Each structure stands twice: as structure tokens, then as C-alpha cells.
Structure 1
Amino acid sequence: MDDEKLSNSLTKKCPSVNGENGNAKEIVDKHANKEVELKAKMSLVNGVTVIVGSIIGSGIFVSPTGVLKYTGSVNMALIVWIISGLFSMVGAYCYSELGTMIKKSGADYAYIMTTFGPFAAFIRLWIECMIVRPCSQAIVALTFSVYVMKPFFPDCQPPEDSARMLAVCCILVLTFINCYSVKWATSVQDVFTYAKLLALFIIIAVGAYLLIQGNVQYFTFEDTKTEVTSLALSFYSGLFAYNGWNYLNFIIEELKDPVKNLPRAIAISLILVTIVYLFTNIAFYTILSPQEVLGSEAVAVTFASKSFGPFAFAIPIFVALSTFGAVNGILLTSSRLFYAGACEGQMPEILTMIQIQRLTPAPAVLAISFLSMAYLCVSDIFALINYVGFATWLSIGAAVLCLPWLRYTQPNLVRPIKVPMFFPVIYLLATVFVTVVPMYASPKETGYGMLMILTSIPVYFVLIAWKNKPKAFQQTMGALNQKLQKLLMVVRPKSSQ
């Protein structure tokens, strides 16, 4: 049964979709064409909000503990936060050349596809779809759970099983919202973005007041760890908080005048985020000792309980709203990546399909949700950060490698922005440091991360590179695809056919 027949059969059940009469396939085609034919209309301000909104999630509320754990002293932790911001700026600057040279949505997946071919691109796609996105979502959902439950367990850690169950509930609620209505999902994202910024500004304002009062006793280099491996692991937590600086590149086709606005948006956003992160950490340490930070899974709650008095409940609420919105953001944006991979024939076809009643990418949303809940089997947030950190920075390093490689192999490509070679070299050396060194300090987590990456190789050769599969296999997969289409009531938009 092809999509036209499937649409006709579904239309008998659903003759009208959202008040529109006609064949369900035609309705899906119409909405799909609107999406595909969107013209560049994002301004510089829109670009800045995309990057800032993507970066600021749960990281700033979780990572202070992880950074301090591996640096040992407050001052060294603050230096790691600054260097992490600068490191992200260098990577984003390199992406500005790649984004204006290879003007395709999909960011590093598109760059690696152009430079190194489909095999390397699939590995990047596999890392992002199977590790980075679902693992990041699991981290943020767990953070949401910890902050919601912490007021009920002020003197001890919330039960792990309860935290996992609440994280599952968070993911399921947002999965329903994203499958039910794109408008609902974007509204959730807008409201909860304001909540996270308000929470940070309140913390910074209180920290500034405490700093003026002379609370500087914890700002020392005492107990600084000098082991190279520990410092490398501290960058995993620091860089995790900056994750998302490359998200504007995923939708560069919709940005006005990208040659001018992409580097400007990157510069403004990352300078702003670095300053906010630095001041937020300074605020934490004006009243919290290193021991208190290390003993807390919810640093902002501990800070609020010591500085806000009877109003301490406000900060956990704001942080919970922030992390709830961050989970929604991952669900909302991941469908673009699944769609891009499926259009290249490197992801299951079902992931490009649209729910005919709600006109939402339900299969992609469900896929990322199920994977995220699988990662919730691990309740250690910092172990999850190590998993995602290793995979993320290894794959982004591969994307930055595209820049010097294309300079050598395709020197005649039009480069509206030409980054000095010094920047990609520095970034690649730093990437080697933050990916190779932790293998010795945290071999278990990096080993799991490497195994998850290596699983992409047999998948690629069996499901993608092998074209002449047995007829029985093709019939089975076709039947499975049709069953899923009927179950989810989805069809392909015209652009993916």
C-alpha cells in the first residue's frame, strides 16, 4: 500500500483535518509545502534568541557541581567556566565559515556529508540522534525531577527511583504536547524560556548584593587539582552547559543575510551567555562553600534556601520551569535532524512522516522520547554528562576538521567568511585534549560512549550501504513501515517523496 492509498483509507476515518475539507494527503502536502518553502525571515535578534535559548537550559544549574568536583577550588572553577565560553566561541567562529560556505540546514551533519561523504556523516548523525539528543534530554529531565523534589528532601538526596519516574512523566507529558500541536509546543518553549532567564537574573542580582557586602571568603585557589585528567573532566561539565551554540547553523537557510548576521549572532550570544554563566557562578559562591556545592545536586535550591529565606521556594520553581522548557526544546528541534537524515536515506523513512490530524512530526518525537527514557536507566547525571560530552565534542571536532580539509581539497569554494587557520587548529587541539585525556580518568564512561559510537558501523553497512537486500527483508521492512503508518496515522509530506 503506497502513501496515496494509505491517505485515502485514513481520510475515510478523518474526512476533515483541523476544519479543512479534502483528502488527508492533500492537506499534509499543503502544510508540508509551506514548511519547505519558508523564506529567510529570521533577523539578527531572532538568531541571538535561538542561540541563547538553546544554550541556557539545565547546564548552569547542574554543572557548577561537576566543574568544582574536578577543579577542587572556586577560582579554578571560574577559570574553567571562562575558558569553556571562549572554547565555544572559537568553535562557533569556525562554524560561521562552514555555515556561509555550505548553506544547508543540518549544520555539522551537512558539513561532514559534503566533506567526508555519507559514511562519516552517518556516524555523526548516529551520535546526535542515538546519544547526544536523547542523553541530553534525559539529563535535563533528571534535573527537573531533582529540583521539583528537593524542597521535599531538604536534608538528603531525593530517592533515585522517584526521580527517574518523575523524569519519565516529564518526558511523556511533553511528548504528548509535541505530538498534539506544534503551536502548543512553541508556546511552552516561549513561556519557559522567560522563566529560566528570570531565575538567572534573580540569582545574579542577589549574588551582586552579597558580593558588595563582602562575601568573598570562598574565592581562593585552595585545594586546586593539578592533574591534567581532572581538569579535562571539568571541561566536560563546563562545555555541557554551553551545548547548543551551533543550533543556529541547523536552520541557517531561514536566517536573513547569514554572511553578516551569523557571526554577529554568534558573537553577541556567546559573550552574553559567558557573562551570565560567570556571574551566576560567582553568585553561588558568595554564600555557598565548596563543600556545600559538592554535596548538592540542586545548587540553585541550596543557594535559595540560604539567601531567600521564606521565599526560597521561588528559585526551585523557576529552575524546574527552565528545565521543563529545555526538555521541550530538545523534542521540538530534534525532528529537523531526523528529517534531514531521512531525506538523505540514512534514517528510517517513518521519521519523515507527518500525523495527518495534528500535522506534527509524531514519529520523530516518539523516537527521541523512547530513547531518552532508555537513558534514564542511569540515574547518575554526571555519568550521563560524560557520555554526551565525549560524543558531542568528538563529532563537533570532526565538523571543524572540515574547514582546513576543504581549504586544501576545494580551495575554489566561495567563502564569504574566511576564518584564520589559527582558530580551527586551536579548536582541534583543544578537542583532542577534552576527548582523549578523559579516557584515562574516566575509562568506563568514555568506553561506553565509544561503544555507542561504534555501533553505527554495522548499522551503516547492513541497513544503508547494502543496497541489494533480500526480497524477504525488504517486504518485512515495508510491511512494518505500513503498520507504523496506520498505527500513527502518518504519511510522507510531498517534499520527502
Structure 2
Amino acid sequence: MPEREAPTDHEQIDHTANKNFSLKRNLGIFDCICFVVGSIVGAGIFVSPTGVLQYAQLNVGVALCIWAAGGAISMMGALCYAELGSALPYAGGEYYHVKRGLGHLPAFIYIWTLILFILPASNAARALTFAEYATRPFYSGCPTPELLKKIVALAVLWILGIINTKSTKATTWVQNVFTVLKMLALILIVICGFKELARKMEIPGHLQNAFSSPDPNAAQIAESFFQSLYAYGGWNALNYIAEDIKNPSKNIPLCTITAVSAVTAFYLLVNISYLTVLTPKEIVSSAAVSVTWAVRVIPTVAWIIPVSVAISIFGSLNGDVFMLGRLNYAGSKEGHLPSLISMLHVNHLTLAPATVLSTIIASVFVIPSELISLTNYFGFSSSLLGGLTVTSLIVLRYREPNLHRPYKVFLPVAFGVVLVYTFLFLAPIIQSPKVQYFYALLFMLSSMLIYFPFVHFKLRIPYFDAITCHLQLLMEVAPTNIFEDPKSQ
């Protein structure tokens, strides 16, 4: 008998041909709020206060305004994303919305930048920060060896990757539990900080004369905003996991707005608590602001803070791994990534290939790096991509006026968000150009070298179909029910 040819990329073995094989909508209101809060509150609030003050030229008033403005901008963005998520509740979030509003090429540039640079770099930064805090109690007064930090960072990335490939319920449980724990840690910092303020005879001078330091220029304000917005990153979490959410048209706007409001209030209170105990120079010179704060305020149990920070980052990273898997899944279903990536495990119904891919890419970024600079570079790229997403909302308002929108944002808010993102993108280039920003733009544009031959002209790589088939069998995954988007044709 002649040997049977391996199935093509569109003819993969499907063990579930007679089953409704797709993602399940299991996430309720509490789960959704925990995913948003848990995704936002992580490394940022424990790392970014240093960067915000540093780029604000130690001007406490400007720094606090930037934290408040960062929350306001995040809320404005959240309102825009709530409209998109409730009207188009499909996995992939911003990527899917850009494709719907602006077309395939901008969407491919978007997903190329997100899955190969921004999100993996962010996850690597969080993993390295987790390693820093998790190992700090064992190296009191001494720096943690870089090799150990890298090993711990890789370990936590792969532990979370395995959890995400084994069970969606386990992932949700981890997210909920760790979100509650991290919020308890923030409450502790706020209460202790205000107790210190009440105990003092007068308000510290740098809070009384908050605007006495030199004012930063436009480029420094933009870079300070990058630090703040990095700490708020994750407010768009529900748009990525929309296909897992019960009643997304109602729950996405409700949970996003609730979570972002709560986080903004806590961030301002935590920063005031830091400034009550530490001077701006002490904050800028501290590699771990919360630990320095704890040694000053609760010295006998100061170890609680690094443990709490590690817990916080672990939960945030869990949410990011979950979201990144959904982004890869969406890109594959839309034909911008190999079909294997959108397949589900036949037993666990998890996105095993997508999660493995995102974990591998994040592992590559676990190299010695100065986190403040790293957050600036993907903050710079994120401002462009965020602007594209909100532009898609504006385009869809005029192109598809009859699209059912359970929630509609006040349109001037969307224009305001686009203007803010445009400022954040252009100000550093014009006033303080750096070669790294050019590299970031070059990286985004390099996606066209892949898009035109392999997506637009559908050039096929020899033996790729056979490799896909073997990987499908090895990983025990099968294709999902394809979502046919009439606008994608």
C-alpha cells in the first residue's frame, strides 16, 4: 500500500470532530475583577515609584500628578476598550479589534510586536522582579547572584506555563487567591504609612512643598508616564480573554471600570505612604522601595513585604501568561500564525501550544537588564499600539454604525486617548531621541518581511505541514471550531 501523505495545515487530525470543541465561558464577575486587578498589581507599584520620581526630577507634586493622570488615562482607555470588548467579545483583545477596524497588515504588525517583544519582555521583567524579591530574604544585606535570579525567573515562568496548560480552573483559582493576598499587602502598606503620618508632629517637607523641585521637560514627563503606565498595565486584560467570560457584554465594562478605579485609588495611597516614610532621594536610590519602607516602618517583620511582593508578582504573571496564550490563539485563528497555535488540548481544553510558545519567548528575555530602561522601551511601543486600538474604535463607529454596542464610550474620550498616546509616542523621539526607539520601530516594521510572503501571498514552507501534524500528535491537541468572521474576508 502506498504511504499516506501527512495532512496539510488545514487538514490536521481532529479527534473531536463530533464535539463542540472550543473555549468555555467559565469566568464570572469576581473572577473577572480578580483577573484585571491581579494583572495590574504586580511588579509596577514596587518598581515604578523609583522611575516616576527619577524622570520627574524628584518633583513630588509632579510625580503624584503623573500617578493620578496615569490612572485617569488608564480609565479613559478602559472605557474605550470596554466598548470594543462588549461589542466584539472575541479572544485576542486589541489585536482582533485592530484587524476589524484597520485591516490585516496593521493587525499583523500589532501581534508581531506584542507576542515577540512587548508582552514577553514584560513577563520577563516581572519574572526577574519576582526572583529579586523571592531571594532577598536569603541574602540580607547582600545582592542576589544574577545567575540565581535568572534560574528562579525561568522556573516561575515555566511553573505558570505548566499550570496554564493543565487547567483553566486551576489558573483562575491561582489568580483569585493571589489577587486577594496582594491587595492585603497593599492595605498593610497604606495603613502603616498613615499611622506613621499621624504619629509625626508635622507633614514631611517634601509633601508640604510638593512642587518645589525643578519641573521636568516634555520628554522627561513622557518617560515618567511610561513608568506610571507600566504599573497600570493590565487594565485591558478582559479584552484578551473575552471568550472565557460569562455574559461579556455586561461583565467586561462593569469589571474593568470597577477594577481600574480601585487600583488607581490604592496606587495613590501607596505612593503617599512611601513618601511619608522616605524622602524622594531615598526612593530613587532604593532598588526595592517597598522593602526599604518596611525596614523603616515594621523592622521586626520586614520580611513580610518581600514575600508579599513576590506573591503579588506571581499572581500578575499568571494573568499575563493566560492572556498571552489567548493572543497567540486569536492570531492563529485569524490566519496570522500557524494553525497549531490555536489548537486545544483534547483532555484539558487548554491552549497548550499557544502557552508553550509564549513561555519560550518570554524565557529568551530573561537576561540581565535594567528594568527601568526596559519598561521605557516597551512603554514606547505600547503607546503606538494603544493609539491604533482606539483609532480602530473611532473607525468602527463610522464604518459600522449598526454594530450592536451594549456599552458606548463618549466619543471625545476616544479622541483624547489617541492624542495622549500620540504625545507619549512622539515626545521622546522629538525632544530626547534614542537609538533604542529607532530599534523598536524597526522591529515593528520588520514584521512586513513575514507578512507579505507567508500571510498575504500564502507561501508555504516545505515539510511545515508534516511538522505541524507530528507536533499535534505529540502535544495531544486538536483544532477548535473555527470562528468565521464575515469582516475578515
Per the normalisation by structure 2, the TM-score is 0.88
Give 1:453's aligned residue.
444
- 1:74-473 counterparts in 2 under 5 A? 74-155=60-141, 157-214=143-200, 216-219=204-207, 220-252=210-242, 255=245, 260-356=250-346, 358-439=348-429, 440-441=431-432, 443-467=434-458, 469=459, 473=460
Give 1:57's aligned residue.
42
Q: Distance in 1 between matches of 2:40 and 2:146?
A: 27
* Contact in 2 for aligned 1:58/1:140 (Cα 8 Å): yes
Letter in 2 for 1:60: I
* Contact in 2 for aligned 1:92/1:246 (Cα 8 Å): yes
The secondary structure found in structure 2 opposite 1:245 is: coil
Equivalent residue for 2:52, pick from 60, 67, 70: 67
Q: Distance in 2 between matches of 1:243 and 1:407?
A: 26
Equivalent residue for 2:467, pick from 456, 465, 480: 480
Q: Distance in 2 between matches of 1:161 and 1:225?
A: 39
Q: Distance in 1 between matches of 2:354 and 2:28?
A: 28
Q: Distance in 2 between matches of 1:188 and 1:260?
A: 24
**Range with bigger deviation, 154-163 or 433-442:** 154-163
The secondary structure found in structure 2 opposite 1:94 is: helix
Q: How many residues align?
A: 472
**Range with bigger deviation, 100-109 or 142-151:** 100-109
* Contact in 2 for aligned 1:29/1:494 (Cα 8 Å): no
Give 2:3's aligned residue.
none
Compute the displacement of 1:381 (Å): 0.9
Q: CA RMSD in A?
A: 2.7
**Range with bigger deviation, 217-226 or 329-338:** 217-226
Compute the displacement of 1:479 (Å): 2.4
Q: Distance in 2 between matches of 1:260 and 1:79?
A: 32
* Contact in 2 for aligned 1:386/1:445 (Cα 8 Å): no
Q: Distance in 1 between matches of 2:154 and 2:30?
A: 34
Compute the displacement of 1:89 (Å): 0.9
Instruction: Structure 1 unaligned segments of length 5 or more: list them.
Output: 8-23
Q: Distance in 2 between matches of 1:175 and 1:95?
A: 27
- % identical equivalent positions: 35
Compute the displacement of 1:494 (Å): 4.7
Q: Distance in 1 between matches of 2:21 and 2:384?
A: 36
Per the normalisation by structure 1, the TM-score is 0.87
Q: Distance in 1 between matches of 2:294 and 2:11?
A: 59
* Contact in 1 for aligned 2:21/2:481 (Cα 8 Å): no
Q: Distance in 1 between matches of 2:473 and 2:397?
A: 48
Q: Distance in 2 between matches of 1:5 and 1:348?
A: 13
**1:46-96 residue CA offsets vs partner (Å, 9 max, x unmatched):** 443332222212211111111111012222211110000001111111223
Letter in 1 for 2:38: G
**1:379-418 residue CA offsets vs partner (Å, 9 max, x unmatched):** 2111221222122221111010123223333444444434
Q: Distance in 2 between matches of 1:478 and 1:258?
A: 36
Instruction: Structure 2 unaligned segments of length 5 or more: list them.
Output: 1-5, 485-489
**Range with bigger deviation, 322-331 or 416-425:** 416-425
